[in-house]
Amino acid sequence: MQYDVIVIGSGVTGAMTAYHLSRYQLRVAVLDKNLEPAAETSSANSGIVHAGYDAKPGSMKALLNVRGNAMMGDVCAKLDVPFKRIGSLVVAFSEDEAKTVQELYESGVKNGVPDMKVLNAEETYAKEPGLQPGVTCALYAPSAGIVCPYELTTAALEVACVNGAEYLRQTEVTAIEKIDGGYRLTDAKGTTYETRVVVNAAGLYADAVAAMAGDTSFTIRPRKGEYILFEKSMGKAVSHVVFQTPAAGSKGVLVSPTVDGNLYIGPNANYVEDKRDTATTYEGMNEIKTCSAKSVGGLDMRLAITNFAGLRATPSTGDFILNEPAPGFFNAAGIESPGLSAAPAVGEYVVELIRKSGAVSLVEKDGWTASREPVIRFREMSTAERADLVARDSRYGRIICRCETVTEQEIRDAIRRPAGARSVDGVKRRTRSGMGKCQGGFCGPRVVDILAEELGCDPTEITKFGGASYMLTGKTR
Ligand SMILES: Cc1cc2nc3c(=O)[nH]c(=O)nc-3n(C[C@H](O)[C@H](O)[C@H](O)COP(=O)(O)OP(=O)(O)OC[C@H]3O[C@@H](n4cnc5c(N)ncnc54)[C@H](O)[C@@H]3O)c2cc1C
């Protein structure tokens, strides 16, 4: 066997599973069809670490949301990923909605959510003065937080690679065959990989991957959520995650700061047919503008810098699917919201499933690490720290992204790190270069040049996110 465990998918579920597996004496590989980790749902979501009151008591979602939330502070500290426990409010504007708030409180108590409180109107406005008039009460959950979903994913994968896991990009699994003692996987280029254990963390495509191994017990439907992101001058419009009482099948449109200091409104929730349909729509933008204004008014749409959409991998079972439908084949499937919050616990749970099955033995290896080498973030440094850094390497003194204050050497670091960036979006998600007001208008061409230099290729070979998403077609002069 080439491998002990192959994880299919480098979203937050696969990355966290690989992170937990990488402490053991196992040959682990993470295969993904995309060029970068967190290329699908794990990059386009609300970035909220939910407290865990809205999942059905007794469900895997409830169990792993609350556990993942409790783990998140420690995991983020180890991975050097920004995480802020800012708390959330579910705000009611009528007696009916107040009943829903009470039900959420009760389900939170059953799920083991710590320190929740139902606030009256006065207490709610004291916490969030910018709310619209007419609040009747709110559910306050101080354990809720905000995190950067792609940084969390990338960091977990990076540590897994430091511990010896292999990350095979642009490797789309197209067939799975049972062989003696394990499985043979074939990718779209015809290359084969043999492994004792397979973990299916293929997000929207987890039903197709499970079917390759003979498990047709569930299907996944894509459910789109659209967002509008505002510039940082709006980042203090609210200081908590502000939910309305949930709509059927979703947590409702919310208004929230991001961990990096922006503000967003969204998401809506609409089923779509195509698992690649991440286009934003005119109707969707109007829907989230109208819905968000119910809780927070006066948001200046001229300060919006971009909009985007993500697809929830909604499973036919209604809950996370974490099982072993065939010996040595494990599903970590149907991981819709709160999958980001739950991810550290999902990874841990999958490793426990593997341990219990005995498919491979888990023996801790010497010298494994749970921590990532700290990332240099020039924008967060004091003047003295910056001067010291630039004296060591003048490329930390050359600003490439003016909006987000990202330096040339930070971009080079992001490319050189384990599981490093290979595309413009890869650099963007690791450094924030291109995340600001101009959305890469100024830094984009410079990032292409640095990528080409670091990767030893022509700038025309650099893509935005892999495949045929080339940035340049050739020289004009
Ligand atoms: C609108 C929206 C808002 C959300 N908000 C929140 C939130 O605030 N908090 C929260 O906790 N959760 C939230 N979620 C849910 C969260 O984003 C997901 O649960 C999580 O990102 C799922 O991660 P994943 O790794 O399972 O899937 P993905 O991130 O989709 O990763 C799956 C990976 O598998 C790869 N893959 C698929 N098929 C193959 C194949 N055949 N071969 C190789 N690779 C393959 C894909 O390329 C992809 O990289 C939200 C989701 C959406 C859509």
Summarize pLDDT for 197-233 with one digit per residue, the tens. Answer: 999 999 999 999 999 999 999 999 999 999 999 999 9
Atom of ligand 1 nearest to the CA of 171: 43
- CA 264/CA 257 separation, integer angstroms: 6
- The verdict on residue 275 lying in a domain is yes
- The verdict on residue 473 lying in a domain is no
Neighbours of 141 (CB within 10 A): 28
Domain edge (last residue) among 269, 298, 314? 314
With a pLDDT cut of 70, the percent of the chain lying above it is: 99
- CA 232/CA 440 separation, integer angstroms: 16
Contact present, 278 and 270 (Cβ < 8 Å): no
Neighbours of 282 (CB within 10 A): 7
pLDDT at 250 over 80: no
Mean pLDDT value across residues 163-184? 98
pLDDT at 476: 82
How many whole angstroms from 147 Cα to the centroid of ligand 1? Answer: 15
Q: Are residues 191 and 102 in the same domain?
A: no
- CA 36/CA 109 separation, integer angstroms: 39
Answer yes or no: is the C-beta of 350 below 6 A from any ligand 1 atom.
no
Q: Which amino acid is at 25?
A: Q
Q: Which residue has the tokens 């973990």?
A: 199
Mean pLDDT value across residues 63-88? 98
As given in the structure block, the two tokens for residue 256 are 């929230």
Mean pLDDT value across residues 20-29? 98
Closest Cα partner for 267 from 224, 221, 314, 222?
224
Closest Cα partner for 263 from 224, 237, 289?
237
Summarize pLDDT for 1-13 with one digit per residue, the tens. Answer: 799 999 999 999 9
Summarize pLDDT for 443-455 with one digit per residue, the tens. Answer: 999 999 999 999 9
- The verdict on residue 270 lying in a domain is yes
Contact present, 138 and 94 (Cβ < 8 Å): no
- The verdict on residue 215 lying in a domain is yes
As a 3-state breakdown, the chain gives helix, strand, coil percent values, each rounded to 5, of 35, 25, 40
Summarize pLDDT for 364-381 with one digit per residue, the tens. Answer: 999 999 999 999 999 999
Report the CATH number at residue 260.
3.30.9.10
pLDDT at 388 over 80: yes
Beta bridge partners of 470: 463
Q: Are residues 331 and 405 in the same domain?
A: no
Q: Are residues 57 and 36 in the same domain?
A: yes
Question: If pLDDT is split at 50, 70 and 90, which confidence band does 249 have?
Answer: low
Atom of ligand 1 nearest to the CA of 172: 42
- The verdict on residue 475 lying in a domain is no
- The verdict on residue 293 lying in a domain is yes
pLDDT at 1: 73
Mean pLDDT value across residues 162-175? 98
Count Cβ neighbours within 10 Å for each residue of 234-248 and write b for 16 or more, e otherwise.
Answer: bbebbbbbbbbbeee
- The verdict on residue 471 lying in a domain is no
Closest Cα partner for 144 from 68, 59, 92, 201?
68
Summarize pLDDT for 292-333 with one digit per residue, the tens. Answer: 999 999 999 999 999 999 999 999 999 999 999 999 999 999
Neighbours of 221 (CB within 10 A): 17
Which residues are marked as active site?
A: 50
The CA-CA-CA angle for residues 352, 145, 465, to 5°, reads 75
Q: Are residues 77 and 174 in the same domain?
A: yes
Closest Cα partner for 21 from 272, 400, 396, 362?
362
With a pLDDT cut of 90, the percent of the chain lying above it is: 97
Q: Taking all residues of the chain, what is their mean pLDDT, rounded to a whole number? A: 97
Answer yes or no: is the C-beta of 268 below 6 A from any ligand 1 atom.
no
Atom of ligand 1 nearest to the CA of 14: 25
Name the domain count of the chain: 3
How many whole angstroms from 290 Cα to the centroid of ligand 1? Answer: 27
- CA 420/CA 297 separation, integer angstroms: 41
Question: If pLDDT is split at 50, 70 and 90, which confidence band does 174 have?
Answer: very high
How many whole angstroms from 282 Cα to the centroid of ligand 1? Answer: 24
Summarize pLDDT for 115-136 with one digit per residue, the tens. Answer: 999 999 999 999 999 999 999 9
Between the CA of residue 455 and those of 119, 156, 430, 447, 467, what are the distances in Å?
55, 23, 17, 12, 16
pLDDT at 248 over 70: no
Best of 6, 17, 42 for a ligand 1 pocket test (most atoms within 8 Å of beta carbon):
42
Best of 6, 17, 34, 46 for a ligand 1 pocket test (most atoms within 8 Å of beta carbon):
46
Mean pLDDT value across residues 337-365? 97
How many whole angstroms from 437 Cα to the centroid of ligand 1? Answer: 26
pLDDT at 418 over 90: yes
DSSP string, 146-195: EE-HHHHHHHHHHHHHHTT-EEE-S--EEEEEEETTEEEEEETTS-EEEE
User: What residue owns the CA closest to ligand 1's atom 13?
Assistant: 337
pLDDT at 475: 81
pLDDT at 239: 98
Contact present, 24 and 370 (Cβ < 8 Å): no
Between the CA of residue 279 and those of 110, 140, 231, 429, what are the distances in Å?
38, 33, 21, 19
How many whole angstroms from 439 Cα to the centroid of ligand 1? Answer: 23
Q: Are residues 76 and 189 in the same domain?
A: yes
- The verdict on residue 467 lying in a domain is no
Q: Which amino acid is at 409?
A: Q
Closest Cα partner for 51 from 67, 72, 71, 66?
66
Residue 238 dihedral angles phi and psi, to the nearest 5°: -135, 155
Q: Are residues 234 and 273 in the same domain?
A: yes
User: What residue owns the CA closest to ligand 1's atom 21?
Assistant: 42
Q: Are residues 230 and 293 in the same domain?
A: yes
Atom of ligand 1 nearest to the CA of 187: 42
Q: Are residues 173 and 284 in the same domain?
A: no
pLDDT at 146 over 90: yes
Domain edge (last residue) among 357, 373, 389? 373
Q: Are residues 246 and 387 in the same domain?
A: no
Report the CATH number at residue 64.
3.50.50.60
**What region does 210 belong to: left with phi over 0, alpha with psi -120 to 50, or beta?**
alpha
How many whole angstroms from 213 Cα to the centroid of ligand 1? Answer: 21
> What range defines the domain where residue 369 resides?
1-84+144-219+316-373
Q: Are residues 93 and 8 in the same domain?
A: no
Q: Which residue has the tokens 């959330």?
A: 88
Q: Are residues 237 and 367 in the same domain?
A: no
Q: Are residues 232 and 205 in the same domain?
A: no
DSSP string, 99-164: HHHHHHHHHHHHHT-TT-EEEEHHHHHHH-TTBPS---EEEEETT-EEE-HHHHHHHHHHHHHHTT
- CA 56/CA 165 separation, integer angstroms: 35
Q: What is the largest CA-CA distance in the chain?
A: 68
Closest Cα partner for 244 from 260, 227, 263, 266?
266
Answer yes or no: is the C-beta of 340 below 6 A from any ligand 1 atom.
yes
